[in-house]
Every structure is written in C-alpha cells, then in structure tokens.
Amino acid sequence: MTERNAQGVKYADMMPVPDKMKAWVLGDPDELKLIDKDVPVPGRAEALVRIDAVAICATDLEIISYGTPAMFEGGPPFNKNFTPGHEYMGTIAALGPGVDEFEIGDRVTVEIHAGCGQCKRCRAGMYTSCHNYGLNYGDRDKGHRANGFTTNGGFAEYAINNINTMIKVPDTMSDAEATLVVTAGTSMYGLTELGGLVAGESVVVIGPGPIGLLAVAVAKSLGASPVVLVGTRENRNKIGLELGADVVIDARSEDALARVKELTGKGADYVVDCAGTEATVNQAVHMTNRGGKVCLAAFPKKPVEFDLGYLAVNNIYLYGIRGEGRSATHRAMAFMADKRFDATKVHTHTFPMSDLPEALRYARERIDDAIKVVVSMKDSAAKSAAAE
C-alpha cells in the first residue's frame, strides 16, 4: 500500500483508481443523465468505495420524482449534479488519512446515515434523526452525511463513506444479498431499538413490500410468536411464509382485523404498518392490544385521519422509523451472515448499471411483480466486454 498524494490518502496498486468515473445524476424531476464526474477523494474517517451493486429503494423513486426527503446543498437535489442511490455495497478502493479499521480490497456494505456526532440525537445513537440533517455544505458543514440524500450516492462507479457506516461482507454472501442488509436493518431498528421486541410477543406486519417481508423475517428470527403478515398479493404472501410468517392473511378475501383478534385474543403486541395508507394506519391501531405498539414504516403521501381516541384510551404507543439507526444494520448483517433468514427471497430482478432507467421503471411499475431490483456494476462490465 502506498500514499498517492500529500493529503495522506492511501491507494494500492492492486486497485487502481481513475480520475474520472461514470455516474448517473439528477436533472429535472424524473430526469437522469449518465455523465463523467471526478472520482471523489476520501477525507478523515472516510473510505472510497468502488460500487459493485445497488438495490433500488422506494425512497430513491420518491427522490428522483419529488426531491424529498433528499436535501442537497441546502435545497432540492435537482440540477446540481446530484447522484442518488443509497442501498449499495462494494469494495474499498482507497482509505482516508488515519483510517486503519479497514483494508483496501475489503468488501463492504453500507448504512445510509453518518450523523454529525454532536447533536442530541446523534449522541444517543439516533443518527438517522440527526438535528443537522442536510447541513453539510459550504461554510456550514456540520459533518452530517446521508449518502443518496444529502451527499452523492451509489448510482455511480465510486462513492465516499464514513467508516462508521461500513460493514464487512463475508465471502459467502453475494453482492446482491449484501445490498439488502440495510433493508433488513431498517426492520431491525423498528422492532428492537425503538420497539423493544422480546421473544414470545406477537407481531403483525401489514404490507409485503421489501421492508415488510424482511420485518417478517427479522421478527421470526427474534423469537416473535405468532408472526402474521397481511397482504393482497399472492406471490408476496407466499414469500412471507417462506421467510417465517406463521399466518398470512389475504386482505382481499378475509377480514384482517377480525382474523388478527382471533389469532391473538386481545390484539397483537406489535403492528408494523409497511403500507402507509389511511386504511392501514387505522387497521394497525385497532389490531394492537392495550399497551401495545404500532410502528409506522411507510410514509403516507398526505395527512391521514386515524382513531386517536382509541389509541389514547388503550395506551397504545405509536412511533415512526426512518432508516437504520443505532447500528441495527450491523445486527442485521450478523443475522444474515448466520443464515437466520434468506433475504435474497425479496430480490427479484437484476440489471446492469447502464440500464438504470429501465431498472427504476421495473421497480416503480412493479413489472413482473418486482420487489427488490438490484443494479450491478459487474453486469455492466460484462455487458461492455460482450459488446466489444
């Protein structure tokens, strides 16, 4: 390993790093362009990651169309050469000054958020709720990073990550599976750090999307009983059973609320709403037993009305989650590396990075019942080689 520049950034001959890279950038809403950008240089407590694979998240689709919840250079991310994408994994290509926690060549998957480390929430480990979110530009750099939200993300050949956000990937885990660790970590965060789930308590998950399906897997792995999935898509309900659901309720043909009460007696200890509609929020409240907890894991597009009186009189706790704080992603990796559940069951499609717009279309329109779509740099390289 040698130092290539005066800033003390460490590179290695085994992984040559170019000066320029291909990157997708956001122009106007729903406009992505593939351009050449400078390869970023890691600073203190940072590493340069060569992107190998990226999973598409529903939040990526929101950012590309509406901008929020991204905040880049103090405002919406449009027409600023901003690169979205946050659920990625790759190989460390360079180390910032003083970094010795990792080696060049290590395969890593990443968390999204590196909080400022100095606000009240960050000091409590809730860096996904950092009070300095987005204040990392110009003369007002608070040190906060959220890749693909407030800093450039992974729809590119390289990205910078704080060392606190990187987790080593075992050799037995594929690139595609490694991109799913952050999704499992989000479910873990909602059920353990914020929810306090203990073995033997009942969990209902509404909505068999990626977070919902992995919430089923995480709940089962944590010892919840019974684990119930409520969904309307037969194929996804089947995957839920494969991931550990004890019971699946098809909301099209059954009264989900009555069925949950039948299964649990007085209602579930935890209900995780991964659908985010007015109907499912109210359903979640009424499915929960007295003193139980409702976790909102989806973002409703507009204000919703729900039965606040029922929630209050029954001492039901309501909380939302965003991301994967308190190192929940590290615990999710431990579960996945130990084969506690098979997250690859939610991975349905793979595209080369050069076909990112098509990959996004599959994810947005749920073509072929797409659940988790992954874009791969290795597939892109193979495609380029074949074209030559």
- Residue 13, C-beta contacts closer than 8 angstroms, at least 6 positions apart: 2
Assess whether 300 and 374 both reside in one domain: no
Assess whether 166 and 31 both reside in one domain: yes
Distance CA 76, CA 111 (A): 22
Assess whether 349 and 270 both reside in one domain: no
3-state SS record for the chain: CEECCCCCCEECCCCCCCCEEEEEEECCCCCEEEEEEECCCCCCCEEEEEEEEEECCHHHHHHHHHCCCCCECCECCCCCCECCCCEEEEEEEEECCCCCCCCCCCEEEECCEECCCCCHHHHCCCHHHCCCCCCEECCEECCCEEECCCECCCCECEEEEEHHHEEECCCCCCHHHHCCHHHHHHHHHHHHHCCCCCCCCCEEEECCCHHHHHHHHHHHHCCCCCEEEEECCHHHHHHHHHCCCCEEEECCCCCHHHHHHHHHCCCEEEEEECCCCHHHHHHHHHHEEEEEEEEECCCCCCCCCCCHHHHHHCCCEEEECCCCCCCHHHHHHHHHHCCCCCHHHHEEEEEEHHHHHHHHHHHHHCHHHCCEEEEEHHHHHHHHHHHC
Query: According to the model, what pLDDT value does residue 3 have?
Result: 45
What is the CATH classification number for the domain harbouring 217?
Answer: 3.40.50.720
Please indicate, yes or no, if residue 127 is contained in any of the structural domains. Answer: no
Assess whether 209 and 350 both reside in one domain: no
For 187-226, write each residue's pLDDT tens digit. 999 898 888 888 999 999 999 999 999 999 999 999 999 9
Query: According to the model, what pLDDT value does residue 104 have?
Result: 97
Query: According to the model, what pLDDT value does residue 5 have?
Result: 56
Pairing of strands 158-162, 46-55: antiparallel
Which residue matches tokens 């800093």?
A: 151
Please indicate, yes or no, if residue 71 is contained in any of the structural domains. Answer: yes
Please indicate, yes or no, if residue 328 is contained in any of the structural domains. Answer: no
Please indicate, yes or no, if residue 140 is contained in any of the structural domains. Answer: no
Domain residue limits at 26:
2-112+147-179+342-387
Pairing of strands 227-231, 203-206: parallel
Please indicate, yes or no, if residue 157 is contained in any of the structural domains. Answer: yes
Please indicate, yes or no, if residue 171 is contained in any of the structural domains. Answer: yes
Q: In residues, how long is the chain?
A: 388
Query: According to the model, what pLDDT value does residue 379 have?
Result: 60
pTM higher than the cut 0.85: yes
Low-confidence ranges of the chain (pLDDT < 70): 1-6, 379-388
Please indicate, yes or no, if residue 80 is contained in any of the structural domains. Answer: yes
Assess whether 151 and 239 both reside in one domain: no
Assess whether 312 and 365 both reside in one domain: no
Assess whether 224 and 308 both reside in one domain: yes
Distance CA 248, CA 278 (A): 21
Assess whether 233 and 173 both reside in one domain: no
Query: According to the model, what pLDDT value does residue 29 have?
Result: 97
Assess whether 287 and 373 both reside in one domain: no
Distance CA 85, CA 154 (A): 5
Of 286, 320, 354, the one marking the end of a domain is: 320
CB 55 within 8 A of CB 373: yes
Buried b (16+ CB within 10 A) or exposed e, 377-388: bebbeebeeeee
Please indicate, yes or no, if residue 45 is contained in any of the structural domains. Answer: yes
Assess whether 192 and 287 both reside in one domain: yes
For 73-120, write each residue's pLDDT tens digit. 989 999 999 999 999 999 999 999 999 999 999 999 999 999 898 999
What is the CATH classification number for the domain harbouring 24?
Answer: 3.90.180.10
Nearest to 268 by CA among 290, 296, 245: 290
Query: According to the model, what pLDDT value does residue 386 have?
Result: 31
Report how many domains make up the chain: 2
Assess whether 220 and 360 both reside in one domain: no
Distance CA 179, CA 344 (A): 10
Distance CA 219, CA 198 (A): 9
CA 222 to chain centre: 20
The residue type of 4 is R
What tokens were used for 191? Answer: 């059920």
Assess whether 302 and 358 both reside in one domain: no
